[in-house]
Amino acid sequence: MPNELATRLEPLVAGAVTAAGFDLDSFEVQQAGRRQLVKVVVDGDDGVGLDEVAEISRAVSAVLDENEHVIASAYTLEVTSPGLDRPLGKPRHWRRAKFRLVRITPRDGTEFVGRVGHAGQKGARVLVDGAIREVAYAGVAKAVIEIEFKQPPTDDLKLLEADEIQLAFVTLGVAQQAWNGTGEWTGGKQFRAMRAVFPMYDTPFQFMALQESGILSVTDLTDKRVGIGPQGGTTGVYMPEFFKILKINPTIQTGNWSDLAVAIQARALDALAVGAGAPFPEFAALERKNKVRYLALTAGQVTALRQALPELGSSVVPAGTYPSLTRPYQTVGLYNFAVAHRALPDDLVYAIAEAVFANHEEMMQIHYAAADTVPANFTRNTILPFHDGAARWYHNKSSSGVVLGD
């Protein structure tokens, strides 16, 4: 019955999605007890934001209600955007993967990894080991986006201090450890070459467990196996401290997020904890395949963490950020900033700040987190001195607040 239903409903749902300006990527109807689970995956050239998912959900729900004689039972509607593990099976998938790293398995030949360039109707140009290769879709057995792992911010700051790189993106908590030489990873050395340039976005800490684990709260993580991401990453640095402050004693596992997601899926881990922008891709992907529970900090735990680690701020993940998150998720967070080496020319840093703030709308189209990348949020930095070029930009543009310089 669900397959027959899907066949009858799909053109109706596709029409509603198309009318909203998006593409129906996949459509599925599953029996879930006495209800039908209607799963709709939508995509667009500029991605699909939370507000747009809500809009599409209303449109699809209206179509299903108008055709209740077809579905003939109660239903649960789930509207999501594609995960990174979706194969590139259509020209539009390749077009939307522009500049992404893709693993390609040809019908004949050896698997290879390349970065997608121009994508047409019959094939795409892919940069492979420094050379352009023309890839015909008809000759591809499978192609999936490769998750690229940025090195931990602690490594970036070490390179910045050594003047091997001139720009980096860091959370202010890790930056504070570096500036004061208090983090274990600093070896007691104070990192004084960095200067703040512009604010980026908040990084809320989030805890997730599978519902079947029976874990109901963060306190329940004692004696549980918890994945916290790469060692030296923001979560890898902070989460052990969180657990000490809250007197919670889990077994901590570090590693890249794709491996940790596989581990919790295989029940080799009990929970995951991350400090990252929401929705966090691995959490969203896990929720598409499992019933999960988001573990919020209590008011007392938030207070304890902020008293022990003053660089933390209160943070909220809005309801609806994840499909099953029906209430605002109270937590703590760290603000992200772009930092530059102090020797970088003032005029260049001024131009960087100007380019970022003058193109805010374009940045928003790339990622909604850029909503927080506005001049007024420079006051979120109470730790680092600003680069002279950035300080001049804020002064000239008359932002309110206090600029901490050298």
pLDDT above 50 (res 188) = yes
- Give dist(CA 289, CA 337) in Å, integer: 34
- Give dist(CA 133, CA 145) in Å, integer: 17
Residues 138 and 189 in one domain: no
pLDDT above 80 (res 51) = no
Q: Considering the domain boundaries, does residue 383 fall inside one?
A: no
Residues 121 and 11 in one domain: no
Q: Considering the domain boundaries, does residue 372 fall inside one?
A: no
Least confident of 1-5, 32-36, 57-61, 217-221: 1-5
Q: Considering the domain boundaries, does residue 384 fall inside one?
A: no
Based on the number of CB atoms within 10 Å of its own CB, is 262 exposed (0-12), middle (13-18) or buried (19 or more)? middle
- In the chain, % of residues over pLDDT 70: 93
Looking at per-residue pLDDT, the higher value among 29 and 221 belongs to: 221
Looking at per-residue pLDDT, the higher value among 248 and 34 belongs to: 248
pLDDT above 70 (res 73) = yes
Q: Residue 25, SS3?
A: strand
pLDDT above 60 (res 150) = no
Based on the number of CB atoms within 10 Å of its own CB, is 337 exposed (0-12), middle (13-18) or buried (19 or more)? buried
- pLDDT tens digits, residue range 230-254? 887 889 889 999 999 999 999 999 9
The CATH number for 243's domain is 3.40.190.10
* Arithmetic mean of pLDDT, 364-379: 81
Q: Considering the domain boundaries, does residue 60 fall inside one?
A: yes
Query: Which one, of 340, 375, 378, lies nearest residue 360 by Cα?
Result: 375
Residues 167 and 271 in one domain: yes
* Arithmetic mean of pLDDT, 335-346: 95
Residues 207 and 329 in one domain: yes
Residues 251 and 280 in one domain: yes
Residues 31 and 55 in one domain: yes
Domain end point (choices 46, 80, 114) = 80
DSSP state of 316: E
Domain end point (choices 309, 336, 363) = 336
**388 falls in which pLDDT band (50, 70, 90)?**
very high
Query: Which run of H or E residues covers position 171?
Result: strand 167-171
Q: Considering the domain boundaries, does residue 345 fall inside one?
A: no
The CATH number for 122's domain is 2.30.30.100
One-letter amino acid for residue 121 of the chain: Q
Q: Considering the domain boundaries, does residue 358 fall inside one?
A: no
pLDDT above 60 (res 167) = yes
The pLDDT assigned to 288 comes to: 84
The CATH number for 74's domain is 3.30.300.70
* Arithmetic mean of pLDDT, 280-299: 90
- pLDDT tens digits, residue range 88-139? 988 989 988 888 889 999 999 899 999 998 899 999 999 888 788 999 999 9
The pLDDT assigned to 125 comes to: 93
Residues 106 and 230 in one domain: no
Q: Contact, 111 vs 103, CB < 8 A?
A: yes
Q: Considering the domain boundaries, does residue 298 fall inside one?
A: yes
Residues 225 and 298 in one domain: yes
- pLDDT tens digits, residue range 196-206? 999 998 889 99
| pTM for the model | 0.55
**36 falls in which pLDDT band (50, 70, 90)?**
confident
Residues 266 and 307 in one domain: yes
Q: Contact, 40 vs 78, CB < 8 A?
A: yes
The pLDDT assigned to 227 comes to: 95
- pLDDT tens digits, residue range 76-86? 888 887 776 78
Domain end point (choices 101, 123, 145) = 145
Token digits for 183?
A: 């983090």
**1 falls in which pLDDT band (50, 70, 90)?**
very low
Residues 122 and 240 in one domain: no
- Give dist(CA 374, CA 160) in Å, integer: 24
Looking at per-residue pLDDT, the higher value among 117 and 295 belongs to: 295
The pLDDT assigned to 151 comes to: 61
pLDDT above 80 (res 369) = no
Residues 213 and 311 in one domain: yes
**190 falls in which pLDDT band (50, 70, 90)?**
very high
**26 falls in which pLDDT band (50, 70, 90)?**
confident
Q: Considering the domain boundaries, does residue 374 fall inside one?
A: no
Residues 35 and 140 in one domain: no
Overall number of domains in the chain: 3
The pLDDT assigned to 368 comes to: 66
Domain range enclosing 240: 153-336
